[in-house]
């Protein structure tokens, strides 16, 4: 895989993970507001926020890696 393709894949993967993070956050908020689940709100918030933080950190890591690879290539 050449450098341009690797950079593009990392950027798009980072953006995708950030979008997943936003969707998880929105889903957790909706479930808590509508009280759909049988789980306690505390458990749901802990699991949802952990998934949200993990996916956002992973997305930012992908974007940072793409920028690092871009700087090394110059």
User: Model confidence at 72, in pLDDT bands (50, 70, 90)?
Assistant: low
pLDDT in tens, 3-44: 888 889 999 999 999 999 999 999 988 888 887 767 788 888
Tokens of 37: 């689940």
Dist CA 49 CA 56 (whole Å): 10
**How many structural domains are present in the chain?**
1
Dist CA 19 CA 55 (whole Å): 9
Q: Containing domain of residue 28, as a range?
A: 3-73
What H or E segment, with its residue span, contains residue 74? none
Res 23: pLDDT? 95
Res 19: pLDDT? 96
């Amino acid at each position: 895989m050449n450098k341009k393709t690797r950079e593009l894949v990392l950027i798009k993967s980072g953006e995708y993970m950030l979008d997943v993070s936003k969707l998880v956050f929105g889903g957790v908020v909706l479930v808590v507001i509508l009280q759909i689940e049988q789980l306690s709100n505390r458990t749901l918030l802990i699991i949802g926020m952990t998934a949200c933080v993990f996916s956002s950190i992973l997305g930012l890591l992908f974007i940072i890696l793409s920028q690092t690879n871009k700087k090394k290539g110059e």
